[in-house]
Structures are given as C-alpha cells and as structure tokens.
Amino acid sequence: MTTYHSVEVEGLEVFYRKAGNPDKPVIVLLHGFPSASHMFRELIPVLEKDYYVIAPDYPGFGKTSSPDREAFQYTFDHITEVMESFIDTLMLTKYALYVFDYGAPIGFRIAMHRPERVTAIISQNGNIYREGLGGKWAAREEYWNNPTPEKRESYHTAFAPDTIKNQYVQGTEDNRVSPDGYTLDIAYMSRAGNDEKQSDLIFDYQSNVRLYPQFQKYLQEYQPPLLAVWGENDVSFIPAGAEAFKQDLPEAEIHLLDTGHFALETHALEIGELMLNFLKNNGI
C-alpha cells in the first residue's frame, strides 16, 4: 500500500510517496516536468512487493514547498542538492534510480556525486545525449545563447493547459490516456508565481546539456546496470537518446514502446514488468 508523507529538508517540506518493505532493495523514482510523484501512481503497486519505493516531489512541484524565487534558486544543481539531502534524511544508502525527463539530469547528478550508492538506473525518456534531443531543442539553445525578456515570455506557453495536455496525449492511441494526470499538473502549474519559477528551470536546462559529457563519463567509468525504456513517439526526447546508452554501456537493455513522453500513462504495467525482470537479472 502506498502511503503519503512530508519531511523537513533544508527548511522545506518535501512531500513523498512510499510503499513496500524498508528491508527490501530501494528504488527512488524521480519525476519530470510538469508533473510530480503522482505520475508513478500505477507503477508503484507493480514494484512494492519486491522493493521499497520512494517517490518525492521537487521544490516548486506537486505538494512539496514552493518558496519564492527570492528565497530559493530554481536551478537543477539546487534541486539536486535538496534531493540528496532528502535521500540522506530518509537514510537511504543504496538505491536504484528511475529517471524521467527532468529526473534524468537530477538523477545523474546524484549518481555522479555518489556512484557507490547507485545499484542501477532505469531511464524512461530520461535523456543525457545530444542525439536524443528532439527538434524543439534548437530553438531553446538559441534562447539560451541569446536570452531576451520576450523569448523568456514566449516559453510561458509550456505551462498552458493545452500544452500540458498535449505532452500527455501526443504519440499515444486515442482514448488511452486518463485525464487525471494532466488535469492535476495543470492545477499545479497554474499556481501564482509558478510560471516564473518554471521559467528559471527552462533557462537553466542548458546546464544539463553542458553536463552530458560528464554524465556519459560516469557511465563509462562505473558501468551501472541500465535499463532504457522509452516512449518511442516522444518528440522531446527521441528514441536515439535511448539507443545512445549503448555507446557507453554495451550491456544496456533498451526497449522502445509504442507510446509518447508520459509512457507510464499507457504502459505502467509493461514498464513495471520490464523493471522487475531487469533488476532481478542484475541481482537487485
């Protein structure tokens, strides 16, 4: 059974879901944009019998504290710092990481900082290769290189209800995606001041792309077991990003599924079963 908790971390109330037996191997689930830990609501029951599952919300997302920009720097480095403190607060010393979307640069920072703790990585549309960047990223790089207030304002469309819904349904079969997930994300993203906090993260995403070579070096050096399970119709992080893991991890397990960016909305059971087989085959 999933239970719901909050814990104080660096002056913030970090919300998280947990399930399973604490004596079992640990999996930390790291969500993406514009979502929160609710995106794992159908995956957690598949895993909880065999694993201790922890799924936090980041600062500014979901039910975790969302401090003002004047009091909190919304960067991927800072969110990673909070997540590392969260992991320490829960006294988790060994864990597999499930990384999706924003969870990839956060999770790979954690793995680089603490390689001895990471037992495996499951990347679900969690990109760390330039080959995996879809067409929209060229315009974002132009914005990063030539930032203007007008360009920053233009990216507020990322928080519009239609844009959020499209992230969920694009690349999926008709009538397969429940409205629950994107409706909740629309509500979270519409909170006062959230557009500017999220705009800070869109601008800071360039720091993640700059770190791609270091993330890849981590893989080359430590060779963690890695499962890439990808919605192959994702236009943000395209399948080449999944296949690219083979460059650094020849033994990486790659699966492409006929769905979009939020693959758990349509394939939670399939992804869960792939994870269970992968982890058990690697002695985890």
Our answer to whether residue 5 is catalytic in this structure is no
pLDDT of residue 214: 98
State the amino acid at position 209 in one-letter form.
Answer: V
Partners of residue 53 on adjacent β-strands: 19, 27
pLDDT of residue 101: 98
Beta carbons of 215 and 121 less than 8 angstroms apart: no
**46: nearest Cα among 282, 243, 264, 258:** 264
| 163-175 per-position pLDDT tens digit | 999 999 999 999 9
pLDDT of residue 129: 98
pLDDT of residue 268: 98
| 128-139 per-position pLDDT tens digit | 999 999 998 999
Mean pLDDT, to the nearest integer, of 61-76? 97
Mean pLDDT, to the nearest integer, of 202-215? 98
pLDDT of residue 44: 98
How far is it, in rounded angstroms, from Cα 266 to Cα 169?
10
pLDDT of residue 88: 98
Mean pLDDT, to the nearest integer, of 142-154? 95
Q: What are phi and psi of 10, to 5 degrees?
A: 50, 40
Q: What percent of the chain has pLDDT over 70?
A: 100
Peptide bond into 161 cis (omega under 30): no
Q: Whole-model pTM above 0.75?
A: yes
**Helices H / strands E in the chain, number of each:** 11, 8
* Catalytic-role residue among 31, 38, 261, 267: 261
pLDDT of residue 251: 97
Cα 162 to its chain centre, rounded Å, is 21
| 174-190 per-position pLDDT tens digit | 999 999 999 999 999 99
Mean pLDDT of all residues belonging to the chain = 97
| 18-56 per-position pLDDT tens digit | 999 999 999 999 999 999 999 999 999 999 999 999 999
State the amino acid at position 191 in one-letter form.
Answer: R
pLDDT of residue 85: 98
Mean pLDDT, to the nearest integer, of 82-109? 98
Task: Classify burial at 185, counting beta carbons within 10 Å of its beta carbon; exposed 0-12, middle 13-18, buried 19 or more.
Answer: buried
* CATH number attached to the domain at 3-281: 3.40.50.1820
pLDDT of residue 71: 95
Mean pLDDT, to the nearest integer, of 72-89? 98
pLDDT of residue 79: 98
pLDDT of residue 219: 98
Q: Where are the domains of the chain?
A: 3-281
Beta carbons of 258 and 230 less than 8 angstroms apart: no
Q: What percent of the chain has pLDDT over 90?
A: 100
